[in-house]
Chains A and B, each alone.
Chain A
Amino acid sequence: MDGFPHKQFAKPAFQKVNDHVWDIPTTFKKGMRVPARIIASKPLLDQMDLMVFDQLTNVATLPGIIDYSFCMPDGHSGYGFSIGGVAAMDTEKGVISPGGIGFDINCGVRMVKTNLTFAEVRPKIRQLTDLLFQRVPAGVGSSGFVKLNASQFRTLVEEGARWAVAQGYGWEEDLALTEEEGCIAGADQEKISNRAIQRGLNQIGTLGSGNHYLEIQVVKEENIADPAIAKRMGIFPEQVVVMFHCGSRGFGHQVATDYLELFLSVMERKYKIQILDRELACAPFQSKEGQDYFAAMKGGINMSFANRQTILHRIRECFSATFNRPAEEMGLRQVYDVAHNTAKLEDHIVQGKKQRVLMHRKGATRAFGPGRKEIPPVYRDIGQPVLIGGSMETGSYLLLGTEGAEKLTFASTCHGSGRTMSRTQARRQWHGQKLQEDMEKRGIYVRTTSFPGLAEEAGGAYKDIDEVIQTADRAGISKSVVRLGPVANVKG
Chain B
Amino acid sequence: MAYRFVEDVSLADVAFEASAPSLEELLVEGAKATFETMVRLDGVEPKVVKKVRITAASAEQLFFRWIGELVFLKDADELVFSRFAVKVTRKGKRFALEGQAAGEKIDPAKHVLNVDVKAITYHHFSVLETPQGWKAFVILDI
Is B12 touching A453 in the complex (CB atoms < 8 A)?
A: no
Query: Which chain A residues numbered 1 to 30 have a C-beta less than 8 Å away from chain B?
Result: 1, 3-6
Number of A residues whose C-beta is below 8 Å from B?
58
Query: Which chain B residues numbered 1 to 54 have a C-beta less than 8 Å away from chain A?
Result: 5-15, 17, 19, 38-39
Is B123 touching A278 in the complex (CB atoms < 8 A)?
A: yes
Is B141 touching A6 in the complex (CB atoms < 8 A)?
A: no
CA distance A211 to B11 in the complex (A): 12
Is B113 touching A199 in the complex (CB atoms < 8 A)?
A: no
Apart from A49-B8, A76-B11, A79-B141, list 7 A-B contacts with CB within 8 A.
A78-B123, A140-B114, A199-B76, A277-B124, A279-B122, A422-B9, A424-B7
Whole-angstrom distance from the CB of A7 to the nearest CB of chain B? 9
Is A77 touching B116 in the complex (CB atoms < 8 A)?
A: no
CA distance A59 to B125 in the complex (A): 18
Could you list 7 A-B pairs, sorted by A, with CB under 8 Å?
A1-B137, A3-B6, A104-B118, A140-B80, A140-B106, A142-B108, A199-B75
In the complex, which residues of chain A have a beta carbon less than 8 angstroms from the beta carbon of B68?
257
Residue of B7, B116, B119, B122 near A141 (CB, 8 A) is B116
CA distance A208 to B125 in the complex (A): 25
CA distance A5 to B6 in the complex (A): 12
CA distance A279 to B17 in the complex (A): 18
In the complex, which residues of chain B have a beta carbon less than 8 angstroms from the beta carbon of A3?
6, 17, 124, 126, 135-137
CA distance A316 to B44 in the complex (A): 36
A421-B11, A422-B11 are known contacts. Are A277 and B113 too (CB-CB below 8 A)? no
A78-B13, A141-B79, A425-B8 are known contacts. Are A257 and B115 too (CB-CB below 8 A)? no
Say yes or no for B101: interface residue by CB 8 A criterion.
no
Contacting chain B: which of A32-40, A169-177, A246-254, A478-486?
A246-254
Is B137 touching A4 in the complex (CB atoms < 8 A)?
A: yes
A143-B78, A452-B114 are known contacts. Are A253 and B11 too (CB-CB below 8 A)? no
In the complex, which residues of chain A have a beta carbon less than 8 angstroms from the beta carbon of B142?
209-210, 423
CA distance A450 to B106 in the complex (A): 13
A78-B10, A198-B76, A199-B76 are known contacts. Are A450 and B5 too (CB-CB below 8 A)? no
Say yes or no for A406: interface residue by CB 8 A criterion.
no
CA distance A139 to B12 in the complex (A): 16
Residue of A nearest to B121 (CB): A79
Residue of B nearest to A449 (CB): B108
Is B8 touching A450 in the complex (CB atoms < 8 A)?
A: no
Residue of B nearest to A198 (CB): B76
In the complex, which residues of chain A have a beta carbon less than 8 angstroms from the beta carbon of B113?
139-140, 209, 449-450, 453
A residues neighboring B (CB under 8 Å): 1, 3-6, 49, 51, 76-80, 83, 102-104, 139-143, 195, 198-203, 208-211, 249-250, 253-254, 256-257, 260-261, 264, 277-279, 281, 419-425, 449-450, 452-453, 456, 492
Is B12 touching A419 in the complex (CB atoms < 8 A)?
A: yes
In the complex, which residues of chain A have a beta carbon less than 8 angstroms from the beta carbon of B38?
140-141
Is B8 touching A422 in the complex (CB atoms < 8 A)?
A: yes
Whole-angstrom distance from the CB of B67 to the nearest CB of chain A? 10
Residue of A nearest to B10 (CB): A77
CA distance A210 to B13 in the complex (A): 9
Say yes or no for B95: interface residue by CB 8 A criterion.
no
Q: Which of B106, B115, B126, B139 has the most CB of A within 10 A?
A: B115
In the complex, which residues of chain B have a beta carbon less than 8 angstroms from the beta carbon of A264?
122
In the complex, which residues of chain A have a beta carbon less than 8 angstroms from the beta carbon of B115?
140, 209-210, 423, 450, 452-453, 456, 492
CA distance A256 to B71 in the complex (A): 13
Say yes or no for B74: interface residue by CB 8 A criterion.
yes
Residue of B nearest to A363 (CB): B12
**Main secondary structure on B side of the interface with A:** mixed
A4-B6, A420-B11 are known contacts. Are A202 and B137 too (CB-CB below 8 A)? no
Is B75 touching A250 in the complex (CB atoms < 8 A)?
A: yes
In the complex, which residues of chain B have a beta carbon less than 8 angstroms from the beta carbon of A77?
10-11
Query: Which chain B residues numbered 83 to 142 have a C-beta less than 8 Å away from chain A?
Result: 106, 108, 112-116, 118-126, 135-137, 139, 141-142
CA distance A253 to B140 in the complex (A): 12
Whole-angstrom distance from the CB of A198 to the nearest CB of chain B? 4
Is A200 touching B75 in the complex (CB atoms < 8 A)?
A: yes
Is B39 touching A140 in the complex (CB atoms < 8 A)?
A: yes
Is A1 touching B19 in the complex (CB atoms < 8 A)?
A: yes
In the complex, which residues of chain B have a beta carbon less than 8 angstroms from the beta carbon of A1?
17, 19, 135, 137
In the complex, which residues of chain B have a beta carbon less than 8 angstroms from the beta carbon of A420?
11
CA distance A195 to B68 in the complex (A): 11
CA distance A211 to B137 in the complex (A): 24
In the complex, which residues of chain A have a beta carbon less than 8 angstroms from the beta carbon of B10?
51, 77-79, 422
In the complex, which residues of chain B have a beta carbon less than 8 angstroms from the beta carbon of A279?
121-123
CA distance A452 to B116 in the complex (A): 12
Is B12 touching A278 in the complex (CB atoms < 8 A)?
A: no
Residue of A nearest to B106 (CB): A141
Is A49 touching B11 in the complex (CB atoms < 8 A)?
A: yes
Is A4 touching B124 in the complex (CB atoms < 8 A)?
A: yes
Is A424 touching B119 in the complex (CB atoms < 8 A)?
A: no
Is B17 touching A278 in the complex (CB atoms < 8 A)?
A: no
Residue of B nearest to A102 (CB): B141
Is A201 touching B19 in the complex (CB atoms < 8 A)?
A: no
Residue of B9, B19, B136 near A6 (CB, 8 A) is B9
Residue of A140, A201, A210 near B74 (CB, 8 A) is A140
In the complex, which residues of chain A have a beta carbon less than 8 angstroms from the beta carbon of B112?
450, 452
Is A4 touching B9 in the complex (CB atoms < 8 A)?
A: yes
In the complex, which residues of chain B have a beta carbon less than 8 angstroms from the beta carbon of A281?
122
Whole-angstrom distance from the CB of B142 to the nearest CB of chain A? 5
Residue of B nearest to A49 (CB): B11
In the complex, which residues of chain A have a beta carbon less than 8 angstroms from the beta carbon of B124?
3-5, 277
Whole-angstrom distance from the CB of B77 to the nearest CB of chain A? 9
